[in-house]
Amino acid sequence: MSNVGQFKHGDRDKPIVAPEEVLETPDLFRLLVESVQDYAIFVLDPDGIIQSWNAGAERLTGYTHEEIIGRHCSIFYGPEDVAAGKPEHSLDEAARVGRYEEEGWRLREDGTHFWANVVVTALHNPNDVLIGYAKVTRDLTERHLAEQRAIADTRRFAKEEAARAIAVAQANEFSTLLDQVRSQTMELERRRAEAAAANQSKSDFLAAMSHELRTPLNAIGGYAELLAMGLRGPLTSEQRSDIDRIRSSQQRLLGIINDLLNFTRVEAGQVAYDLVNVVIADVLESVSGMLAPQLLERHLVYDESVCPRAVVARADRAKMEQILLNLLSNALKYTKPGGHIAWRCSATADRVRITLRDTGPGIPSDRLDDIFEPFVQVGRNFTHTSEGAGLGLAISRDLARAMGGELTVESTLGVGSAFSLDLPRVP
């Protein structure tokens, strides 16, 4: 006869267990604990030694009942956690407050790790004496990894958003800078156009003025020449001296006017260059011959060392003579009687250099670049014999550069100066 009957409750029929088949509460609880598969449930004594072991613990850790009973609970912790005293800490906290919960990595029997949620509960007898601990462990590895992936995704997204925000900010900043550069470029272009127009106006004015002045100056020179020839009657010695002064002043003004005309032509790019092979020695001989009377008059020691005729420059001969003549004229102006002036010639594989040294007053080091600017005469600070508009060196440097060369200077105050013309050399 079956021990199971039926009882009616509403519309449902439920089985009835016979009284002799009902388990006692301790047995029922033990059966419950041992049957749980998803939780590792075990009991520790007050020292942390494992006393009981359920099926869930065996499934989770890989240890059998026989392998684990009697071992310390620290067996589930990694070496770092054991060294840090985490097993003892969990038991101490549970004993102190009754319960302790934490999450962390634990070890299985095969050495693999799993993320565990651990709850430790202190067990006391009726006299409130600690008799051990109940420990319940859950495997939350999947949840933990999912959380870590979510955190990683969030961080990556945050970084991407931050990078995107930075990129947008930088793009906006770059756009602003670009607008500023465009605005400044337009302003510079406007100013450059204004400067070019002003420069052109200046050049036009200088050219027109120079042409207008040359006519009366040539007339002055012509009439002075007639008077000096006695065609208007005989002249006294005083009158002849005055005529010579008039002619000298006329020639000086005419030289200034010619410099202005040359400067405006060079600046406007209206000067043509006929580049040929030029023997340096021939040019030095020609220039020295032009100024020989002035050299004798000022009693200067003049050294025209012979430049080897094999040294040949590629240049416009007339422009080259103009540059060297201007350098020698300046040396004559600023070198006191009895001083020294000397030419030197040197060459490399592809360049030729002609240097003129003098024993003039020299030029301050902070003014060496200024002397090549138009209308600048640094020498006026040291002598009253200088004349002209201060255009000779500016024109000379422009002519040198137009021929692929350069005009430079070295100078020491109280010692003298050395001007060097570099030009391309013909092999």
pLDDT in tens, 205-258: 766 766 677 677 777 877 777 888 877 788 888 888 888 888 777 776 766 666
| Structure letter (DSSP) for residue 155 | H
Fold of the domain spanning 272-426 = Heat Shock Protein 90 (3.30.565)
Fold of the domain spanning 146-262 = Helix Hairpins (1.10.287)
Q: What is the mean pLDDT of residues 407-425?
A: 92
Is pLDDT of 20 > 70?
Answer: no
| Model confidence, pTM | 0.47
Q: Residue ranges of the domains in the chain?
A: 5-139, 146-262, 272-426
At 72-112, the pLDDT tens digits run: 999 999 999 999 999 999 999 999 999 999 999 999 999 99
In terms of CATH, what superfamily is 5-139?
A: PAS domain (3.30.450.20)
- Per-residue pLDDT band at 18 (split at 50, 70, 90): very low
Is pLDDT of 2 > 70?
Answer: no
Mean pLDDT across the chain, nearest whole number?
Answer: 82
CA distance 215 to 211: 7
Q: Supply the pLDDT for residue 369.
A: 81
Is pLDDT of 155 > 80?
Answer: yes
Q: Supply the pLDDT for residue 24.
A: 54
Least confident of 158-167, 259-268, 334-343: 259-268
Q: Supply the pLDDT for residue 389.
A: 54
At 108-127, the pLDDT tens digits run: 999 999 999 999 999 999 99
Least confident of 157-171, 260-274, 378-392: 378-392
